[in-house]
Amino acid sequence: MFLCKGESELPMPRIEVKDVGLLSYPVRQDQLQSMIGRATRAPFGKGTETITDLSVRRVWQIQSTDVNITGRHFQAYFDTITKSIKESMGLTNEEVTAELYKLLVYDKGSFFLPHRDTEKADNMFGTLVLSLPCPHRGGDLVVNHSGRDEVVSLENDSMSLIKWTAFFADCQHEVKPVTEGCRVCLVYNLLRSGGTKVNINPESEPIINAINQSNFTLESLKGSDATLARTLLAFADEQGQSKVISDCESDVSGFLTVFGIF
């Protein structure tokens, strides 16, 4: 699965923003104006450059160093989110952590054209977005993977509800224009502990040559591909790798396709 999402009523986190104070829920208009007043326009990556272009991305950002989040109940809830991400995205055998990246404010007219997130660390695999209680309309998140669109509404008119969604960083996605009100969200980088190097029977020369050319590791696999690869490797450990490989040698291209090489 390339995307997962959820929502839940819970004791809200204490979020303190520098020069703004402790946020209320739903976020008050005066706090929105204070955040926008101290925020900067969010840039985006274009090739090797980071640029600001309001015709491509129009949203306000506050750096993570200016945001302090506390709350025991919220941390427990956050742990359930990362667990859900692990299970949904085929990472059950790894440690998944979320690192706060920025607080974003989408006021009326804000949007972000189709793009892919920059993987900001070697072990970053995805993005997590938490929508805080703040009435707004529009601003749908549209995530595309292999020609399939998933539309996620992050509208949140509640006083104690958090909506969240997570998706792989290499998925193309966009934020549709906010048509009314403001959306306040926390954006996290999702990090994984790393997979296991795949060891293939060296006697199978065609397969090992293809893998060497592809720098093939489990870290490169995601979602159902990662789950399937781990299942096959576990089976290989039980049955003996040479048997698994020999059974697949009659269809080498199919075997490599399963593992995401072709």
Which of 8, 33, 58 shows the shortest CA–CA distance to 162? 8
Question: 240 or 127: which carries more pLDDT confidence?
Answer: 127
Token representation of residue 198: 């795949």
Cα dihedral across residues 164, 169, 170, 173: positive or negative: positive
Residue 240 has pLDDT above 80, yes or no: no
How big is the chain, counted in residues?
262
Q: How confident is the model at residue 222 (pLDDT cuts 50, 70, 90)?
A: low
Mean pLDDT of the chain: 81
The pTM of the full predicted model, rounded to 2 decimals, is: 0.75
Task: Let me know the angle formed at the C-alpha of 47 by 41 and 52, rounded to the nearest 5 degrees.
Answer: 15
Across the range 230-237, mean pLDDT stands at: 52
Per-residue pLDDT of 28-49, as tens digits, reads 999 999 999 999 999 988 877 8
Question: 244 or 146: which carries more pLDDT confidence?
Answer: 146
CATH classification number, 3-192, choose in 1.20.1290.10, 1.20.1260.10, 3.10.105.10, 2.60.120.10: 2.60.120.10
- Beta partners for 142? 151, 174
Q: Give the pLDDT of residue 221.
A: 54
Q: Give the pLDDT of residue 259.
A: 46
Start and end residues for every CATH 2.60.120.10 domain found in the chain? 3-192
Measured CA distances, 74 to 15, 30, 80, 160, 187 (Å): 11, 25, 10, 11, 16
